[in-house]
Amino acid sequence: MADVVLNNLSKAFGETTAVENLSMTVPDGSFVVLLGPTGAGKTTTLRLISGLEQADAGTVEINGRAVNNDTPAQRNVAMVFQQYSLYPHMTVRENLAFPLRSPILKTPEDEITRKVQDVADVLHIAHKLDNRATALSGGEMQRVSIGRALVREPSIFLMDEPLSSLDAKLRADLRIELKRIHASLGATLLYVTHDQIEAMTMATHVGVLDQGRLVQFGSPREIYENPVSLYVAGRLGMPRINALPADLFPGAPTGAKTIGLRPEHIDQEGGKACKVVRVEHLGDQTRLHLTLEGHDIVTLTDVHTDLGTGDEIAIQPRNPLYFDAGGDRIV
Amino acid sequence: MSSFSITEPSSRQKWAAGTLVILYAVITLLPLFWILATGFKTPADAISYPPKILFEPSLEGYVNLFTTRTRVTPEQLEALPPPETWYEAIVRNRDMVIAGPSRYGERFLNSLIIGFGSTFLSIFLGTLAAYAFSRFRVPLKDDLLFFILSTRMMPPIAVAIPIFLMFRTLGLSDTHLGMILLYTAVNISLAVWLLKGFIDEIPREYEEAALIDGYTRFQAFYKVVLPQAATGIASTAIFCLIFAWNEYAFAVLLTSGTAQTAPPFIPTIIGVGGQDWPAVAAGATLFLVPVMVFTILLRKHLLRGITFGAVRK
């Protein structure tokens, strides 16, 4: 395992800029999650590190060595793709052994057998080893492709939305699995997702990308509590942060255009009166959809609330975030 | 149940479908059966009218196919020692003796060498070219692909005279190499275009995964792309072989002695000692076998979709 350092990395496809001046350090043993909407440059960043794409400018350093001119094989990285991940003409066992048989690793057969068995046990696919890769369910396929990364000891694991095509329960299971693997192997991971639960639960660091640029890098808590911009604030939090005109509530600093209120940062005593539009009981939480002077607000309330549609309550902000006209945070 | 749902066909539908299939099979297989049967008839049975459905099988056609014979007078025949082999006996029944082997075996071997040689070369070059066109940023890609296709825009025989002159100048006339190159040149456009279609359908992610798993691009091609393209390669190979195997016009024009293939040879049998239809039919029957065997051997690859389950689209 090793540090991975990106210096001013840029990549364009024709007219489209995919990654622009990206600098970032993935510390040894960390679990870094890249967040951003589709087209933010997350996948391109992974492909630049893996060597599947060549950077237009900037350098990639793995373990202190610039690897820009190395082939993907020489970089010793493992990658889990979003889909199309297994070699369909091979069995599960052959898929898992494939990286170990590469001319770079040339692992002895007895060691291959042992490592494949170990990984299959960890991922609960040992009973499927002799199945064809095509005879697996979606969740099993993705476990095998994660396994194909785990059999090696790469400098870094690159994962491109590995859980996005799975159903909710499998996603939750594999999330825990990945976190456990990270902890037990001390592996370095760079993980791309647009699922904020994956980011919050697994990451040691989160990087937020916006149109190819890294706009904030820090721990999940930092990103959640101290976003540098409205864009970053909108990336984490469920329900999403409420963005309202700053003059809706008193106390806005000068230059503030927008007030950002996390659902849990709204006190339901005193302040401005607003109307309940809808009450959503989700079991573990209850969401209140409110309307205040024509603006929609979502907040949380007591799980067993008596409130109903049409009721009136008064709300006021607690620990609000303020943003200027450009969306940047005002502290 | 909506009108689009798939239902089990009724027994009447099955019966109707079965009848249609059998009818079609009878119509398409009848000529083959005719050729097969004629090969085992005597020359007299072969031209009898009405045609004989039931007849006494004879190997005369096959004997005539593989031998050359000379006619002898009854007195000369009397003077000969008794025939040593069954085929000698068949020939003597017709007041003839075997003069030597015919050239059918040689011609057949030429067909095998040239047919499989050009098929191999077409597939080898076609696969590499198709892969490059499918995966790399080739300059002028579309123009090159169009150029390759344009070689098929007129019937090859339209350029027979220039090719004849070129072959004569280069010393390729009546050589195996010349015929292999010619058939490859005709087949390569088909091979490139068909195979490009198949390779385009193989997701790049497989190769990218192999590159990251520690393999070079050529190894990724060899270990991941080729096995997935097996279906396409098999069907393309069958098309190439069928063309090269059946080709007649160029074979007549460009070969005469050493490299002559079976198609121009078979009709020449007719002229040798009367119209020997059983021998022609025997030659045609044997000529069918290699393509049939080749197709049967590759047929499991022709069933598409075996390997396409791991791709979630």
The three-class DSSP label of residue A317 is strand
Largest CA-CA distance found in chain A, in angstroms, rounded: 73
Look at residue B305 and tell me whether its pLDDT is greater than 70: no
For residue B179, what is the enclosing H or E element?
Answer: helix B176-200
In this predicted structure, what is the pLDDT of residue B310?
40
In this predicted structure, what is the pLDDT of residue B96?
87
Q: What is the pLDDT of residues A126-161, one digit of tens each?
A: 899 999 888 888 888 888 988 999 898 898 999 999
Question: What DSSP state is assigned to residue B221?
Answer: I
Q: How far is A257 from chain B (nearest CA, A)?
A: 44
**List of chain A residues whose C-beta atoms are within 8 Å of the C-beta of residue B234:** none
In this predicted structure, what is the pLDDT of residue B308?
45
| Lowest mean pLDDT segment, chosen from B95-99, B184-188, B290-294, B309-313 | B309-313
**Are B212 and A79 in contact (CB < 8 Å)?**
yes
- Higher-pLDDT residue of B170, A199: B170
* CB-based contact A320:A227 (threshold 8 Å): no
Residue of chain B whose alpha carbon sits nearest to that of A157: B212
ipTM comes to 0.83
**List of chain B residues whose C-beta atoms are within 8 Å of the C-beta of residue A44:** none
How many A/B residue pairs have CB atoms within 8 Å?
A: 78
Compute the half-sphere exposure of residue A164: CA atoms within 13 Å on the CB side of its CA.
Answer: 18
Q: How far is A75 from chain B (nearest CA, A)?
A: 8
A62 reaches B (C-beta below 8 A): no
Among candidate residues B20, A224, B204, the one with its CA nearest the CA of residue A216: A224
Residue A84: alpha-carbon gap to chain centroid:
20
In this predicted structure, what is the pLDDT of residue A203?
92
**List of chain B residues whose C-beta atoms are within 8 Å of the C-beta of residue A83:** 205, 311-312
DSSP string of A107-163, one letter each residue: --HHHHHHHHHHHHHHTT-GGGTTSBGGGS-HHHHHHHHHHHHHTS--SEEEEESTT
A48 reaches B (C-beta below 8 A): no
A104 reaches B (C-beta below 8 A): yes
**Are A73 and B227 in contact (CB < 8 Å)?**
no
Rg, Å, chain A Cα set: 23
Residue ranges of the domains in chain B?
61-102, 105-310
In this predicted structure, what is the pLDDT of residue B272?
55
In this predicted structure, what is the pLDDT of residue B311?
42
CA distance A138 to A163: 10
pLDDT averaged over every residue in chain A: 89
**List of chain A residues whose C-beta atoms are within 8 Å of the C-beta of residue B307:** 88-89, 134
Compute the half-sphere exposure of residue B5: CA atoms within 13 Å on the CB side of its CA.
Answer: 4
In this predicted structure, what is the pLDDT of residue B304?
57
A277 pLDDT tier (thresholds 50, 70, 90): very high
Q: How far is B134 from chain A (nearest CA, A)?
A: 17
Count CB neighbours of A249 within 10 A: 17
The three-class DSSP label of residue A204 is coil
In this predicted structure, what is the pLDDT of residue B306?
43
**List of chain B residues whose C-beta atoms are within 8 Å of the C-beta of residue A89:** 227-228, 307
* Backbone φ and ψ of A213, nearest 5°: -110, 145
Look at residue A281 and tell me whether its pLDDT is greater than 50: yes
Tracing tokens 């969401």 back to the chain, one arrives at A287
Q: How far is B221 from chain A (nearest CA, A)?
A: 12
Residue A213: partners with Cβ closer than 8 Å, 6 or more residues away: A20, A21, A22, A41
Burial class (CB in 10 A: 0-12, 13-18, 19+), A104: middle
Mutate to test the interface with B, among A75, A85, A92, A164 (most CBs of B within 10 A): A85
pLDDT averaged over every residue in chain B: 88
**List of chain A residues whose C-beta atoms are within 8 Å of the C-beta of residue B311:** 83-84, 88
Residue A261 β-bridge partners = A242
E strands along chain B, which residues?
A: 67-71, 96-101
The three-class DSSP label of residue B40 is coil
- CB contact burial A46-56 (16+ within 10 A = b; e otherwise): bbbbbbbbebe
Question: What DSSP state is assigned to residue A70?
Answer: S
**Are B307 and A50 in contact (CB < 8 Å)?**
no
B290 pLDDT tier (thresholds 50, 70, 90): very high
* CB-based contact A257:A325 (threshold 8 Å): yes
Structure tokens belonging to residue A82: 């979003």
The three-class DSSP label of residue A65 is strand
Residue A278 β-bridge partners = A289
Rg, Å, chain B Cα set: 26
In this predicted structure, what is the pLDDT of residue B5?
65
Q: Which of A102, A141, A148 sits opposite B310 (nearest CB)?
A: A141
Chain B residues touching chain A at CB-CB below 8 Å: 203, 205-206, 208-216, 219, 224, 227-228, 307-312
In this predicted structure, what is the pLDDT of residue B271?
66
Burial class (CB in 10 A: 0-12, 13-18, 19+), B188: buried
DSSP string of B239-298, one letter each residue: HHHHHHHH--HHHHHH-SSTT--HHHHGGGGGGTTS--HHHHHHHHHHHHHHHHHHHHHT
CA distance A281 to A302: 10
In this predicted structure, what is the pLDDT of residue A214?
94
CA distance B45 to B56: 9
Domains of chain A with CATH codes:
4-234 (3.40.50.300), 240-330 (2.40.50.140)
Q: How far is B284 from chain A (nearest CA, A)?
A: 39
**List of chain A residues whose C-beta atoms are within 8 Å of the C-beta of residue B202:** none
Q: Which of B214, B224, B307 sits opposite A73 (nearest CB)?
A: B214
**Reported CATH class of domain B105-310:** mainly alpha
A78 reaches B (C-beta below 8 A): yes
Q: What is the pLDDT of residues A21-60, one digit of tens each?
A: 999 999 999 999 999 888 889 999 999 999 999 999 999 9
- Higher-pLDDT residue of B206, B7: B206
In this predicted structure, what is the pLDDT of residue B307?
45
pLDDT > 90: what percent of chain B? 58
Q: What is the pLDDT of residues B174-226, one digit of tens each?
A: 999 999 999 999 999 999 999 999 999 898 889 999 999 999 999 999 999 99
Q: Which amino acid is at A159?
A: M
